[in-house]
Amino acid sequence: MNRTGKPYAIALAALLLALLLAGCMNAGNRSDDNLDAPEATGTPYVGTDPAGVTTPAPTATSLVPGLDDAKRAIENAFDWKSNVGEVQDRINQFSEVAASYVVVNGPTALVGVEFDPQYRGEMTERIRQMIAGVVMSYDAQVQTVAVTAESEDVRTVRSLAERAANGADGAELKTEMDKIVRNTTTLS
């Protein structure tokens, strides 16, 4: 009886061992997460949750990546005509700056600065970056900020800013802005 029972016992032990190993191998694939929960794909979940509430289907605009962000940016666009003084006041708080003039056309901003008489330096990259940071913090749509301290350019920027405040045409301003923006000493 030892001989006939031994192969069966070994076969039974091997079968139990195989089942045990198969169960352990799949343990890492198990998830305790709720199967009805939406997947983290960025696409809204459409289905029924346990309470019987159905999530609405995604809208056509939410299917285009970035479109919702663009719509939100347009709705929350900074009103340069009404609020340019706020930005200029913030730039004027820098110890080196006595006065600033800002004109914006689309994604481009042009800033003219007059230095404080006690500041004996000139335009530095640090000052350009600080001013560009202020302008971009007010309007995320601004992608390029050019800063100048050249006296003739500053007079032009001041004139452009006044014309923009009085409702001048953007295309008319753009041509004059581009002349200054293209200056290698201006772009930041």
Q: How far apart (Å, rounded) are the C-alpha atoms in residues 100 and 87?
A: 9
pLDDT tens for each residue of the chain, 188 residues long: 455 667 777 877 777 777 766 665 655 555 555 555 545 555 444 455 555 555 455 555 555 555 555 555 555 678 888 889 999 999 999 999 999 999 999 899 999 999 999 998 889 999 999 999 999 999 999 999 999 999 999 999 999 999 988 888 778 888 888 888 887 565 55
d(CA 134, CA 97): 13
Residue-range domain boundaries for the chain: 80-181
In angstroms, the CA 109 to CA 138 distance is 11
CATH architecture entry for 80-181: 2-Layer Sandwich (3.30)
Is residue 147 classed as helix, strand or coil in its secondary structure? strand
Could you give the CA distance from residue 44 to residue 151 in angstroms, rounded to a whole number? 55
Q: Which amino acid is at 142?
A: V
3-state percent breakdown (helix, strand, coil) of the chain, nearest 5: 50, 15, 35
Q: Minimal CA–CA distance to 160: which of 102, 108, 114, 106? A: 102
